[in-house]
């Protein structure tokens, strides 16, 4: 008890460590913003994301969904606070430990910043300058706190007073630096400004109007604001479409480069396509359908002249993502595209502005590169892209799946006729049947909604005469090749989940 009380009485020492780290980090952020380089703090987060073992990443996506990023950043901040407080305490006995601590922060920050796929040498500068500032602040505050005046005089301020004034000054200066960093980096947020100026042309090949009866249970298209988002980017890449370039190279006859205006000037296609994330669990939310506008990818590949042995298309993004797609799939006649529009608007920043790739029928991690800047024709034997290096499958067509959206799992249902409904998907193969089973009864055919093509999800419903009691409802789909949805439950890793979606309800 006594020891804890003693420890608490040493809060000013702990505070020296915290304020040193805070002011050093704020200065590093400010410098990075001035240099238009990535935030050193976010680089720590990105390093952790890239280094996180796949099972843990799976867990985070499953448990936290899109809150996984704020949770990660909060955890990093909390860990830094604890470390800083401990360093402050240790520095009271041995100031050299304090300096060593700040050096470790600076070096770790520089190493992580330099380790980012888009790093340049200058990225080491903000953490190093921040570390020096942190060491300086630590020494200064320690001096104020423990300075023994040579001639004590009644006019001099007590050490405690002087320390508090110094600490206040550090907080104000550091806060101003942090605010400045925020201001500069948001003023540099060219993406939104650039997006506001884009005028999308009309498609040369428009999507047909949705067929009658395609949306009996819910809106067919997912609004952009509701569309799931999955990526490793801690800050959304800010791209000016006016200076953006797409390079096509690697195993091609002619390297090509395209501007955004050049892409928009080409004949564009508009298609309804369902995009699915491989991390989607049975019954999960990570899929959506949009009306996409884009340039047929096969045409660009034909212009470059793809070598016969280039079996993998590696797309790269401004944030260093790499995604590998089979050349064979992109050139088999399906509507693989470089998308510039989503549901009648330029791509939202979070969904890849200004340009992203889309290949109907493939999970996003092997097809849907956002913020794309390069297409490199390669070979599966020669290059493993980002997720493959983390042991996800090299090729991953979307597995046939179906989901019950109503009634809600564990919900209460009034006795009588109840509509059981949801979506089923097997993009590019299409869904040809959906069956529903209540408890261990017979499988009953659900009514299928109409669809514009095989590339989208398909709504379905079945009117069920609900009798009082607890019931399990299960759904399964069949794809266009007559293949039934796989019953066996497997996890999303390494190439997509299987298993029938089943919910329990109480009928009253
Ligand atoms: N640059 C980049 N593109 C990316 C990713 C990413 O992390 N970075 N994630 C991919 C994954 S795993 C999926 S499922 C889709 C998700 O696209 P959305 O966020 O627009 O729904 O984007 C793909 N494209
Ligand atoms: Mo994904």
CATH number reported for the structural domain that contains residue 479 in this entry: 2.60.40.650
Question: Given 390, 414, 436, which residue is the final one in a domain?
Answer: 390
Ligand 1 pocket test: which of 246, 284, 287, 370 has the largest number of ligand atoms within 8 Å of its C-beta? 370
Q: Quick count: other Cβ atoms within 10 Å of Cβ 205?
A: 12
Environment of ion ligand 2 (residues, CB < 5 A): 230, 277, 364-365
Q: Which two tokens stand for residue 381?
A: 């034997």
H/E element, 257: strand 256-259
Q: Which atom of ligand 1 is nearest to the CA of 319?
A: 1
182 with 251, same domain: the answer is no
Q: How high is the pLDDT of residue 308? A: 97
Protein residues with CB under 6 Å of any ligand 1 atom: 227-233, 275, 277, 317, 319, 321, 351, 364-365, 368-371
CB 309 within 8 A of CB 243: no
Instruction: Spell out the residues 6+ positions from residue 331 whose beta carbon is closer than 8 angstroms to its own.
Output: 298, 301, 306
Q: Which two tokens stand for residue 442?
A: 């017979």
With H, G, I as helix, E, B as strand and everything else as coil, classify residue 477: strand
CATH assignment at residue 376? 3.90.420.10
30 with 137, same domain: the answer is yes
Ligand 1 pocket test: which of 368, 375, 396 has the largest number of ligand atoms within 8 Å of its C-beta? 368
Q: Is residue 322 part of a domain?
A: yes
Q: How high is the pLDDT of residue 62? A: 81
Q: Is residue 206 part of a domain?
A: no
Cα 132 from Cα 125, distance rounded (Å)? 11
Q: Quick count: other Cβ atoms within 10 Å of Cβ 331?
A: 15
Q: How high is the pLDDT of residue 152? A: 55
459 bridge partner residues: 423
Question: Given 137, 169, 188, which residue is the final one in a domain?
Answer: 188
Among 234, 346, 343, 219, smallest CA distance to 292 is for 343
Q: How high is the pLDDT of residue 373? A: 98
Phi, psi dihedral angles at 156 (to 5 degrees): -75, 150
* Count of domains for the chain: 3
CB 160 within 8 A of CB 15: no
Q: How high is the pLDDT of residue 149? A: 62
pLDDT mean by block of 10 residues, the chain; 508 residues: 80 95 97 93 95 87 84 96 96 93 97 94 97 96 81 66 92 96 85 96 96 97 97 93 98 98 98 97 97 98 98 97 98 98 98 98 98 98 97 97 97 96 98 98 98 98 97 98 98 96 97
Centre of ligand 2 from the C-alpha of residue 315, in Å: 15
| CB-based burial, 265-285: b 16+ in 10 Å, e otherwise | ebebbbbbbbbbbbbbbbbbe
Q: Is residue 293 part of a domain?
A: yes
Q: How high is the pLDDT of residue 321? A: 97
Q: How high is the pLDDT of residue 185? A: 85
Question: Given 390, 424, 451, which residue is the final one in a domain?
Answer: 390
272 with 178, same domain: the answer is no
Q: State the DSSP code for 379.
A: -
State the pTM of this model. Answer: 0.92
The answer to whether the bond into 494 is cis (omega within 30° of 0) is: yes
256 with 349, same domain: the answer is yes
Tell me which residue has its CA closest to atom 5 in ligand 1. Answer: 231
Q: How high is the pLDDT of residue 5? A: 84
Q: How high is the pLDDT of residue 159? A: 83
CB 410 within 8 A of CB 436: no
Cα 271 from Cα 409, distance rounded (Å)? 32
Q: Which atom of ligand 1 is nearest to the CA of 365?
A: 12
**Domain of 338, in residue numbers:** 224-390
């Amino acid at each position: 008890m006594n020891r804890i009380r003693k420890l608490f009485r040493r809060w000013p020492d702990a505070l020296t460590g915290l304020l040193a780290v805070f002011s050093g980090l704020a200065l590093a952020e400010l410098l990075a913003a001035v240099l238009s380089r990535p935030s050193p703090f976010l680089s720590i987060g990105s390093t952790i994301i890239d280094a996180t073992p796949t099972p843990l990443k799976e867990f985070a996506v499953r448990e936290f969904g899109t809150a996984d990023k704020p949770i990660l950043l909060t955890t990093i901040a909390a860990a830094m606070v604890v470390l800083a407080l401990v360093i402050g305490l240790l520095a009271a006995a041995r100031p050299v430990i304090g300096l060593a601590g700040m050096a470790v922060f600076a070096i770790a920050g520089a190493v992580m910043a330099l380790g980012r796929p888009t790093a340049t040498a200058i990225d080491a500068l903000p953490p190093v300058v921040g570390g020096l500032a942190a060491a300086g602040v630590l020494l200064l505050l320690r001096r104020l706190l423990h300075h023994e005046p040579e001639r004590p005089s009644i006019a001099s301020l007590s050490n405690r007073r002087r320390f508090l004034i110094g600490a206040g000054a550090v907080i104000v200066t550091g806060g101003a630096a942090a605010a400045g960093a925020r201001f500069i980096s948001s003023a540099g947020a060219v993406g939104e400004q650039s997006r506001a100026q884009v005028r999308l042309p009309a498609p040369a090949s428009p999507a047909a109007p949705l067929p009658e009866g395609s949306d009996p249970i819910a809106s067919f298209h997912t609004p952009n604001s509701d569309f799931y988002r999955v990526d490793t980017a801690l800050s959304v890449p800010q791209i000016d479409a006016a200076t953006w370039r797409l390079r096509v190279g690697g195993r091609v006859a002619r390297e090509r480069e395209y501007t955004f205006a050049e892409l928009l000037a080409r004949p564009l296609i508009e298609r309804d396509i369902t995009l699915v994330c491989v991390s989607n669990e049975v019954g999960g939310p990570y899929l959506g359908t949009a009306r996409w506008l884009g340039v047929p990818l096969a045409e660009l590949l034909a212009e470059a002249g793809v070598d016969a042995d280039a079996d993998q298309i590696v797309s790269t993004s401004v944030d260093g993502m790499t995604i590998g797609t089979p050349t064979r799939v992109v050139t088999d006649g399906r509507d693989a595209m470089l998308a510039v529009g989503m549901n009648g608007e330029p791509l939202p920043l979070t969904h890849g502005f200004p340009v992203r790739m889309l290949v109907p029928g493939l999970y996003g991690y092997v097809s849907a590169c956002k913020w794309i800047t390069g297409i490199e024709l390669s070979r599966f034997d020669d290059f493993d892209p980002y997720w493959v290096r983390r042991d996800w499958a090299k090729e991953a067509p979307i597995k046939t799946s179906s989901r019950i959206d109503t009634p809600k799992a564990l919900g209460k249902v009034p006795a009588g006729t109840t509509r059981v409904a949801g979506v089923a998907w097997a993009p590019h193969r299409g869904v040809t049947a959906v069956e529903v089973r209540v408890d261990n009864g017979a499988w009953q055919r659900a009514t299928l909604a109409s669809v514009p093509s095989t590339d989208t999800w398909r709504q379905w419903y079945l009117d069920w005469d609900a009798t009082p009691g607890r019931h399990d409802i299960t759904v399964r789909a069949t794809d266009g090749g007559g293949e039934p949805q796989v019953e066996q439950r497997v996890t999303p890793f390494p190439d997509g989940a299987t298993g029938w979606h089943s919910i329990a309800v109480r009928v009253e």
